[in-house]
Amino acid sequence: MHTPGSFHFVVVGGVAAGASAAARARRLSEAARITVIERGPDVSFANCGLPYFIGGEIGSRASLAVQTPQTLKALLDLDVRTSTEAVAVDPVARRVHVRCLASGTTEWIYYDRLLLAPGAVPLRPALPGIDDPRIFTLRSLHDMDRIKAAAASARKVAVIGAGFIGLEMAEQFVRLGKQVELVELLDQVLPPLDRPMTLLLEDELRRHGVALHLGDGIAGFEDGKGIVCRLESGAAIEADLVVLSIGVRPDTALARDAGLRLGPRGHIVVDEYMRTSVDGIYAAGDAVEVEDLVSGVRTSVPLGGPANRQGRLVADHVFVPERAVRYPGALGTAIVRVFDASAGITGWSEKRLRASGRPFRTVTVNDNHHAGYFPGAKPLMVKLLWDPETDLVLGAQVAGAAGVDKRIDVLATAISGGMSIDDLAQLELAYAPPFGSAKDIVNLAGFAAGNTRDGLVDPVDVLPDDPEVQVLDVRPLALSTSHPVPHPRVIAIPMPELRRRAGELDPARPVVTVCALGKTAYFAARILAQKGLRVRSLTGGLRARIDPRSPAKLPTP
Tell me if 536 contacts a second copy by CB under 8 A: no
CA dist list (Å): 362 to 105, 332, 423, 488: 58, 19, 16, 27
Q: What is the three-class DSSP state of 426? A: helix
Residue 315 within binding range of a second copy, rule CB under 8 A = no
Q: State the nearest-atom distance from the C-beta of 285 to a second copy, in Å.
A: 11
Complex with a second copy: residue 126 or 430, whichever CB lies closer: 430
Which position among 48, 100, 229, 515 bears the catalytic label?
A: 48
Q: Does 556 bind a second copy (CB under 8 A)?
A: no
Rule CB under 8 A: is residue 309 a binding residue for a second copy? yes
Which residues within the stretch 67-106 sit at the binding site for a second copy (CB under 8 A)? 71, 74-75, 77
Report the residue number, 7 or 523, with the smaller CB distance to a second copy. 523
Instruction: Centre a 10 Å sphere on the Cβ of residue 97 and count the other Cβ atoms it contains.
Output: 15
Alpha-carbon distance 424 to 444, whole Å?
A: 8
CB atoms within 10 A of CB 312: 20
Q: Are 398 and 411 in contact (CB under 8 A)?
A: yes
How crowded is residue 303: how many other Cβ atoms within 10 Å of its Cβ? 18
Closest CB 213 distance from a second copy, rounded Å: 24
Q: Is 296 in the site for a second copy (CB under 8 A)?
A: no
Q: Which of residues 34-63 bind a second copy (CB under 8 A)?
A: 46, 48-49, 52, 57-60, 63
Does position 337 bind a second copy by CB under 8 A? yes
Pick out residues in 251-270 that bind a second copy (CB under 8 A).
none
Residue 162 or 231 with smaller CB distance to a second copy: 162
- Asked if 480 interacts with a second copy (CB under 8 A), we say no
Contact between 298 and a second copy by CB under 8 A: the answer reads no
Contact between 523 and a second copy per CB under 8 A: yes
Does residue 405 touch a second copy according to CB under 8 A? yes
Amino acid at 331: L
User: Of 127 and 495, which has the nearer Cβ to a second copy?
Assistant: 495
Q: Pick the binder of a second copy from 64, 197, 381, 535 (CB under 8 A).
A: 64
Instruction: Decide: is 285 part of the binding site for a second copy (CB under 8 A).
Output: no
Long-range contacts at 417-422 (CB < 8 A, ≥ 24 apart): 418/392, 419/392, 419/393, 420/386, 420/390, 420/391, 420/392, 420/393, 421/384, 421/386, 421/391, 421/393, 421/445, 421/446, 421/449, 421/450, 421/453, 422/391, 422/446, 422/450
**Any alpha helices (H) in 83-220, and if so which ranges?**
141-152, 164-175, 199-207
Cα–Cα distances in Å, from 441 out to 280, 371, 387, 436, 524?
A: 47, 10, 20, 9, 20
Q: Choose, by CB under 8 A, the member of 197, 315, 408, 493 that binds a second copy.
A: 408
Site for a second copy in 443-472 (CB under 8 A): 443, 447, 450, 454, 456
Interface with a second copy in residues 143-202 (CB under 8 A): 164, 168
What is the nearest approach in angstroms of a second copy to the Cβ of residue 185?
22
Handedness of CA 227, 231, 237, 242 (dihedral sign): negative
- In this structure, are strands 106-110 and 218-223 parallel, antiparallel, or unpaired? unpaired
Least separation in angstroms between residue 199's CB and a second copy is 20
Contact with a second copy (CB under 8 A) among 373, 389, 465, 508: 373
What stretches of 308-445 adopt beta strand conformation (E)? Answer: 334-338, 341-347, 361-368, 379-386, 393-400
Distances (CA, A) of 159 to 126, 239, 289, 339, 542: 17, 10, 28, 16, 30
Decide: is 16 part of the binding site for a second copy (CB under 8 A): yes
110 bridge partner residues:
95
Q: Does 555 bind a second copy (CB under 8 A)?
A: no
The answer to whether 406 and 431 are in contact (CB under 8 A) is no
Please, which of residues 341-370 interact with a second copy by CB under 8 A?
342, 344, 346
48 is catalytic: yes
> In whole angstroms, how close is the CB of 428 to a second copy at the nearest point?
4
Is there binding between residue 395 and a second copy (CB under 8 A)?
Answer: no
Shortest CB 521 distance to a second copy, Å: 13
375 touches a second copy by CB under 8 A: yes
Residue 551 near residue 525, CB atoms below 8 Å: no
- 408 SS3 class: helix
**d(C-alpha 273, C-alpha 319), whole Å:** 12
DSSP 503-545: GGS-TTS-EEEE-SSSHHHHHHHHHHHHTT--EEEETTHHHHH
> Which residue's CB is nearer to a second copy, number 197 or number 408?
408
Binding of a second copy by 519 (CB under 8 A): no
Site for a second copy in 409-448 (CB under 8 A): 409-410, 412-414, 416-419, 422-423, 425-436, 438-440, 443, 447
Give the range of 187-195, 462-470, 527-535, 537-545 binding a second copy by CB under 8 A.
527-535
Q: Of 124, 148, 378, 526, which lies in the binding site for a second copy, with binding defined by CB under 8 A?
A: 526
Residues marked as catalytic: 48
